Amino acid sequence: MSDTKVLKLVPKSSAKPSPTPAPAAAPAPGNAEIEKKTPPARPIAIEPAPQVKAQTTQASATAPAPARPARFPEQRNRRERNQRRERPRPSPEEMLGMYRMMYLSRRIDDKEIQLKNQNKIFFQISGAGHEAVLVAAGMALRPGYDWFYPYYRDRALCLQLGMTPLEQLLSAVGAAADPNSHGRQMPSHWGHKKLNIVSQSSPTGTQLLQAVGCAEAGYRFKLIKELRRRSSNFHKDEVIYVSLGDGTSSEGEFWEALNTACNLKLPVLFLIEDNGYAISVPVEVQTAGGDVSRLVKNFPNLFLQRCDGTDVLESLGVMKRAVQYCREHRGPALVHAKVIRPYSHSLSDDEKLYRPDEERTADAERDPVKRFGAVLVDEKVIDQDGLQQIKDEIDALVNEAADQALASPQPDPQTATQFVYSPDVDPTAKEFDTEADAELSGNAGTMVDLINRCLHTEMARDPRILVFGEDVADCSREEFLEKVKGKGGVFKVTANLQRKFGSARVFNSPLAEANIVGRAIGLATRGFKPVVEIQFFDYIWPAMHQIRNELALMRWRSGGDWKSPVVMRVPVGGYLKGGAVYHSQSGVSTFTQIPGLRVIYPSNALDANGLLRTAIRCDDPVLFLEHKHLYRQAYNKSQYPPDEFMIPFGKAKVVREGSDISIITYGALVQRSLVAAKQAEQQGVSVEVVDLRSLQPYDWKAIEATVKKTNRVIVAHEDSLSFGYGAEIAARISDELFEHLDAPVRRVAALDTFVAYAPQVEDAILPQVADVLAAITELNSY
């Protein structure tokens, strides 16, 4: 394309190989296509670095060559003083291996651009200009041992870790064999099960909290003695790598992730690849002062390093020190690498519209591939003919891989619905149904009591279960536990869990909903079972990015390679007298239409116990809604069921038999519908009430049976009428059971507004018994 400075494909050189070059170093394990051509490399020798300290702003590695300006000029003198002491000294073989990997990354970018221009692939976004620091990062870290949360520029990192050119090009063509997403995501959305590269998505910054959760898994694994012999994928000195662009540092989740990583001293390596632009927005518009590392330098326990990310040797020294700091459990590290973006943001962008020629030319002078090639020649590691031979070999390799990728089969269209939910555990199956003939015992308890009992018994059964959220612990300052009664949640649902199971498994989170869900995803990826609490449904929205684009999508977008079975407990609903706008909402339809997410809504204590146990034992992410008004109602109390009591998802319950009209409902409307049904009975109308209990999935067979039985249907719920949950049920009844209806499907729901503080206004907004009774009367007389 005219807006890119593509390294053109060159013909095979006819020049003889240079007698001077040493053999090239081998790339990371697994990169078989390059490995054939290169012998194994020796470990890179690095002179001892000075003692690192937390909160340091010490410059990294060496000063740039005199001809180019330092990207961090205030650091220049210190770099020059420490040049010999800090700069690594790879062998000639290793230096050639680094060049090969950088050039390979660039040539795959160029091949994808060529394929896009030929309409053989459908999207391209490059890692050009970022290659040096990413190859350095890959050399400092261990594939399949450390964990990786890259972003879309990280092509060279993935190659260095062991992803092959063919695997990357399979992603570009959307092939079924693509290990990144099996044809389900755009190219450069990295993921590789064997290499511990966790599935990446398009939203910028959502990977950061997940990386923190992944690191937290290792932290908590060490604290929970019951788990110490259970897993082989935890290592005492593992590092979790996560990268981002300079624009992503504006996202709130970056600051939330940095805060938690520093607070818990987690071994997270943050790499900021600063190419100066977020698409067209320059860094000084994004960031106060134009330098994000200046803003974060006072975070405690943070090892802060800066480097010229286009200088592979300087970057290698910095990355080695940052990784060492993390492996020693001293806290997280942040490397701020200044790189370039020689191509447009993507092929959907034209950088000439907002970048002047002189700026683009200046960037081209710092091209890491060209610069390092020149260094190799200048230092007589190889001559120009030998360098050309390496290029020719890689060009041929990339062309061959592209041909193989283009010939690779596309995914079968029939696989589209695979991995929306777990293929291994079906929470609607009979093994989750122990409801019939369950023996109850003890005094009757409220919904709060039976949810609390379920959490206690499940945590005793499975040490992988973690409970966290805002205020869920009894007392974060453990020294006060014996002096205070304990909080245990604003509704006391998690009371005494911390006392029983300890602070490693029950703990408070920051007041940040995205932080809660994002960390939970990372923990679940490592095999933990987080049961988190969002304090009020009304405050779930900061976590929506994590829920919609990450939690619900993880399994599907990775083709089943990754999963995150998190349970989110969320108090919901109104009828509180004083809950008002921000403590009384019920927007459940927003979540029931998200594929991959189970949504459960019990109406009484016993159902809450059985459904929560199923939620914890199933293998899918679950939104478990607990109506606040129902927490302590006397009419929904129950004795305690046994510890194996479960109710399967998608199983409704007929809570009142009837013959004239059916009410399909859930949550707080179940009791109101029962009261209205009793009143209608006095008018000679027999009303059947069906409690759905599970909203996604829902029990269509039960709905079908009741419609065929009564031929008149009301759908009642607390959510707003327009676009509410009842619209789906009503539409499907009209579509599939029309011939069984003697009257139109009627809906009873809240007004299309918000819940007010004044009790009389709240009563007018939310559906009441009188509203249900009026619907019964009108429908009966139709």
SS3 state of residue 509 = coil
- 546: tokens are 């994590």
Residue 639, φ and ψ in degrees, nearest 5: -70, 170
- 247: tokens are 């624009």
pTM above 0.85, yes or no: yes
Taking 70 as the threshold, does the pLDDT of residue 707 lie above it? yes
pLDDT of residue 56: 38
Calculate the alpha carbon distances from 671 to 265, 602, 674, 717 in Å.
49, 12, 5, 11
Taking 70 as the threshold, does the pLDDT of residue 4 lie above it? no
Nearest to 466 by CA among 539, 568, 555, 562: 568
Express each pLDDT in 549-563 by its tens digit: 999 999 999 999 999
Taking 60 as the threshold, does the pLDDT of residue 310 lie above it? yes
Taking 50 as the threshold, does the pLDDT of residue 775 lie above it? yes
pLDDT of residue 229: 75
In this prediction, residue 48 has a pLDDT band, given cuts at 50, 70 and 90, of very low
CA 114 vs. chain centroid, Å, equals 32
Mean predicted confidence (pLDDT) in 613-632:
98
d(CA 617, CA 433) in angstroms, rounded, equals 12
In this prediction, residue 88 has a pLDDT band, given cuts at 50, 70 and 90, of confident
What residues are paired with 268 via a beta bridge?
240
More confident residue, 610 or 50: 610
Mean predicted confidence (pLDDT) in 711-716:
98
What residues are paired with 622 via a beta bridge?
567, 598
Residue 172, φ and ψ in degrees, nearest 5: -60, -40
The 3-class secondary structure across 648-659, one letter per residue, is: CCCCCEEEECCC
Residue 215, φ and ψ in degrees, nearest 5: -65, -35
Taking 50 as the threshold, does the pLDDT of residue 646 lie above it? yes
Taking 90 as the threshold, does the pLDDT of residue 307 lie above it? yes
pLDDT of residue 35: 40
Express each pLDDT in 124-161 by its tens digit: 999 999 999 999 999 999 999 999 999 999 999 999 99
Q: Are strands 687-691 and 653-656 parallel, antiparallel or unpaired?
A: antiparallel
d(CA 129, CA 371) in angstroms, rounded, equals 11
Mean predicted confidence (pLDDT) in 640-653:
97
Are 337 and 249 contacting, i.e. CB atoms less than 8 angstroms apart? no
Structure-token match 């710092």, residue found: 366
Residue 58, φ and ψ in degrees, nearest 5: -60, 140
List residues with catalytic annotation: 583
The percentage of residues in the chain with a pLDDT greater than 90, rounded to a whole number, is 86
Calculate the alpha carbon distances from 754 to 587, 718, 724, 751, 759 in Å.
10, 12, 14, 8, 13
- 606: tokens are 């016993």
Mean predicted confidence (pLDDT) in 502-520:
97
d(CA 621, CA 553) in angstroms, rounded, equals 10
- 717: tokens are 């719920």
Determine if the peptide bond prior to 697 is cis (ω within 30°): yes
Give the helix/strand (H/E) hosting 109: helix 92-117
C-alpha Rg value of the chain to the nearest Å: 30
d(CA 594, CA 613) in angstroms, rounded, equals 22
d(CA 777, CA 782) in angstroms, rounded, equals 9
Q: Where are the alpha helices (DSSP H) in 234-309?
A: 252-264, 283-286, 292-295
Express each pLDDT in 734-770 by its tens digit: 999 999 999 999 999 999 999 999 999 999 999 999 9
In this prediction, residue 348 has a pLDDT band, given cuts at 50, 70 and 90, of confident
pLDDT of residue 24: 38
More confident residue, 52 or 200: 200
pLDDT of residue 81: 45
Sequence-ordered list of residues with C-beta below 8 angstroms from that of 476, at least 6 positions apart, any chain: 503, 507, 508
Taking 50 as the threshold, does the pLDDT of residue 369 lie above it? yes
CA angle 195, 197, 198 (to 5 degrees): 140
Mean predicted confidence (pLDDT) in 10-34:
39
Mean predicted confidence (pLDDT) in 674-680:
98
Q: Is 753 left (phi over 0), alpha (psi -120 to 50) or beta?
A: beta
Burial code (b: 16+ CB inside 10 Å, e: under 16) for 727-736 equals: bbbbeebeee
Least trusted range by pLDDT, from 48-57, 481-490, 598-607: 48-57
d(CA 96, CA 342) in angstroms, rounded, equals 23
The percentage of residues in the chain with a pLDDT greater than 70, rounded to a whole number, is 89
Sequence-ordered list of residues with C-beta below 8 angstroms from that of 344, at least 6 positions apart, any chain: 1, 3, 4, 350, 351
d(CA 340, CA 310) in angstroms, rounded, equals 7
Q: What is the mean pLDDT of the chain?
A: 90
Taking 60 as the threshold, does the pLDDT of residue 76 lie above it? no
Taking 90 as the threshold, does the pLDDT of residue 42 lie above it? no
Taking 60 as the threshold, does the pLDDT of residue 299 lie above it? yes
Are 581 and 539 contacting, i.e. CB atoms less than 8 angstroms apart? no
Nearest to 1 by CA among 129, 152, 109: 109
- 252: tokens are 């709130």
Calculate the alpha carbon distances from 282 to 286, 368, 758 in Å.
7, 21, 49
Mean predicted confidence (pLDDT) in 334-351:
93
CA 62 vs. chain centroid, Å, equals 36
Are 467 and 477 contacting, i.e. CB atoms less than 8 angstroms apart? no
In this prediction, residue 72 has a pLDDT band, given cuts at 50, 70 and 90, of low
d(CA 234, CA 464) in angstroms, rounded, equals 14
pLDDT of residue 75: 52
Hey, how many other C-beta atoms are within 10 angstroms of the C-beta on 683?
Answer: 10
